[in-house]
Structures are given as structure tokens and as C-alpha cells.
Amino acid sequence: MKSAIILHGMPSKEEYFNCDRSSQSNSHWLPWLQQQLIVNGVLTQTPELPEPYLPVYEEWCKVFEQFTIDEDTTLVGHSCGAGFLLRWLSENKIEVGKVVLVAPWFDPVKEIQNNFFDFEIDRDILQRVEVMSIFVSSDDEKTVLDSVEIITKQLPQVEVKRFEGKGHFTFGDMKTEKFPELLEYILG
């Protein structure tokens, strides 16, 4: 059975505890994409990752690894969630389906004061995935653009889908909860 796991990013502590906002797994385009994949026959999960404002890699692994992850699984990560996927795939030699890193961020200026991104990108990672793509917008934050540059230097064969005017692919930047380009890519 085809499945997908969509991982959210790292909000600020204030954003996370703001009761007037949706939870991270229910914000931006994540619930829309989940629903669209489900109606297209792809069992899709959007787990809420623990304390995402100060992520701990081992704690995120406990939640993520509760799901079946195999060659029929599509993995989608937004921002820090994409960085997490890159580390997890580098450290776990598991074959998976498509991997989409949306505005990938893995802390190139060391904002997180723990070992969350203490890893080397496995240069053989692309041999274990059906395809890996990066979705990036030219007007995103410098640290995201720097992260994309680091990834593409380590993995020059990775597909890069470039956008204009999408910022960090958040509702505030995109002005919509829909992300048809991502849905089309996953289903295509």
C-alpha cells in the first residue's frame, strides 16, 4: 500500500504555544496535502513532533519510527522536518519511495544548541530512494538557501524545483493552504 509521512518544521516557542494557531501538523499546506493524498489512495500521516521549537533528534525519531517506512513510502519534510529526514535517511540505510525536501533547513549557523544536525550527509542516499527533490523559493531565508547549497554540493544529482515568490512555503508567504505543485509531483 502506498503511504506518505509529512513532517512539519520548527516554530518559535511563542508560535507553538499560541492557542489561536493550529498545531504544527495542521498548519500551512500540510492538512490540505494530507487530505488530497488520502483521497488519491495514499495513506498519509502528519505526526505532531515533540517540542518542535527546541527539537531533540532522538525524540523526533521515536515518533517518526512508529510508522512503516519502506519503498512504498513517500517522505515529505518542511524546513527543519526536511533536515530531519536528510539526517534520518543518512543514518538509516532503508529504501524509500519519493523524498521531497520543502524549504530544507538544517541549521547552517548552529541556532539549535544540541546535536540535532550533528551528522554527515550520506552521499549514497540517492541509491536508496526512488527520487529526492528539493522545493525552494528564491525569496526564502538565507539559511534555507545556504542549506540547499550544502545539500546540492553533497548530492549533485538531487532534483531542485525552483520557485519565485513562495518564501518559506508557509501560509503567510503563499497566501493559500493549497500546494498543487507538490501534490502533482508526489502523484506524478
d(CA 102, CA 136): 6
For residue range 58-105, list pLDDT tens digits in order: 999 999 999 999 999 999 999 999 999 999 999 999 999 999 999 999
Q: Give Rg (Cα) of the chain.
A: 15
Domains of the chain with CATH codes? 3-187 (3.40.50.1820)
Residue 5: beta bridge partners?
45, 75
pTM of the predicted protein model: 0.96
137-179: pLDDT as tens digits: 999 999 999 999 999 999 999 999 999 999 999 999 999 999 9
| Closest CA relative to residue 108, chosen from 135, 139, 83 | 83
Q: What is the C-alpha to C-alpha distance for residues 36 and 93, in angstroms, rounded to an integer?
A: 29
Question: At 130, which helix (H) or strand (E)?
Answer: strand 129-137
> What percentage of the chain exceeds 90 in pLDDT?
91
- Would the pLDDT of 109 be above 90? no
